[in-house]
Structure 1
């Protein structure tokens, strides 16, 4: 969400829905999940292939990212994530497992829809992964850089899009002064402190991937920051 004008988005959304403030999930002490043999393995990441030259004049922004190419590049990642989840879940009988999802351009098609079109539609490939995980008893958590004032709007949008939600983390006022990657890492640590093994962390920016606290990461395309 680093390239989005959330000041305008919040003003319009709050006026429409009447949201004044929201309360985010309470914090839990941060711990690190243990990997086999008492060590935490470094997460591995899959990065989508670079977009073809016709798909993105990435520095120019919104209009130059081709929607259909983006969807194909998303599928290149989720088509790898699905069999991984199937295998990992089948091997984790008895484990308390979770996946962590970013929201903007990972779960919702934020970049391709103006803020006044609400609710924002889901990214179908990510929705399918989330529903599959939930059907297999895996918790589905969302960790987003969106500010806390639009917690209710964000939760409503995810629910309308059909996502299962085990928990939603947004940035409270103190979090706004933290680096996004540090904030997101801390929230994954909080999820681990609840006893979960985060078997997959899915996002579309480097700040979603940094910091560990996930067995495996999957990075959707952002075309060098053209998509927030």
Structure 2
């Protein structure tokens, strides 16, 4: 019997512990238990002193200052260091895409993550005091409350004008797809950010990929994640397998944009662009 304790919100899980209890047959043999040592999702240094760590309240204030929101209103400033850094990445992407020359007959495409790559969740970070809660987060998602990441709408619009297919790839659940689409584009609810509508793929699929429940995985996710715990995709496997699926339908992913390294790992993109996000970490 295997008992697995998992906590899998949007943020990094602290650690998943697995306890395997095996019943061994034979004379004189009773219960034997093998315990797998729990490991944190984030591997980092162990401070030797309190002086090696930034005080948490000081760090929160540094984040507010970085976003140009010293009093924590939930609105980042257009001239903040965050906005400047994000806009710089978007401009780099625009220049790269404009100079790219197609190779072969594949349709050139870009892939964008959603949270803190396309949509900025700073207002929720302030509201939640950096403590993710799926219920309150869903209120922000379904209310379509997120503004665009600086520079990213203009980058995507320029890419569309130059003939790129536009795909969005997010870890948000399928139940949030319509709200996500409305927030990204325009539906008259909440914030309409004006991104191009996602491209319909050559097989008729919607170009906004949300993460299905494991019981509803398409074949390409089942195959890619068969060896993951319970067959449930890690972020890297989910996103890389989806990019591979897009490529298999005749697209060349020229650029992949993400705020987490797990958005960008696993290949199936000619070039990656990392947006700034000091608020949370997804392995």
* Cα 1:183–1:57 shift into 2, 3 Å: farther
Cα deviations across residues 127-153 of structure 1 (Å, max 9, x unaligned)? Answer: 111101111111000000001111111
Question: How many residue pairs are counted as aligned between the two chains?
Answer: 176
Task: Specify the SS of the correspondent of 2:185.
Answer: helix
- Pairing partner for 1:122 from 135, 144, 148: 148
Question: What stretches of structure 2 of length at least 5 have no aligned partner?
Answer: 1-8, 13-53, 68-75, 128-138, 187-192, 200-206, 218-230
Q: Which moved more, 1:217-226 or 1:104-113?
A: 217-226
Q: Tell me how far apart the structure 2 counterparts of residues 224 and 158 of structure 1 sit (CA, whole Å).
A: 21
**TM-score calculated relative to the size of structure 1:** 0.68
Does the C-alpha gap of structure 1 residues 58 and 99 become closer, same or farther in structure 2, counting only changes over 3 Å?
A: farther
Where does residue 81 of structure 2 map in the other structure? 69
* Structure with greater contact order relative to length (CA < 8 Å, sep ≥ 6): 1
SS in 1 for 2:267: coil
RMSD value, Cα: 3.0
Distance 1:124 1:191, change over 3 A: same
Taking structure 1 as reference, are residues 57 and 179 closer, same or farther at Cα in structure 2, changes over 3 Å only? farther
Which protein is richer in helix relative to its size? Answer: 1
Query: Does 2:181 correspond to 1:155?
Result: yes
Structure 1 stretches lacking a partner, 5+ long:
5-52
Q: 2:10 aligns with which of 2, 21, 27?
A: 2
Secondary structure of the 1:121 match is coil
Q: Any idea what SS the aligned residue of 1:92 has?
A: coil
CA–CA distance in structure 1, aligned partners of residues 167 and 58 of structure 2: 33
- 2:258 corresponds, among 182, 188, 203, to 203
**Does structure 2 retain, via aligned residues, the 8 Å contact 1:200–1:218?**
yes
Relative to 1, partners in 2 of residues 1:58 and 1:216: Cα closer, same or farther, differing over 3 Å? farther
87, 101, 108: which one pairs with 1:97?
Answer: 108
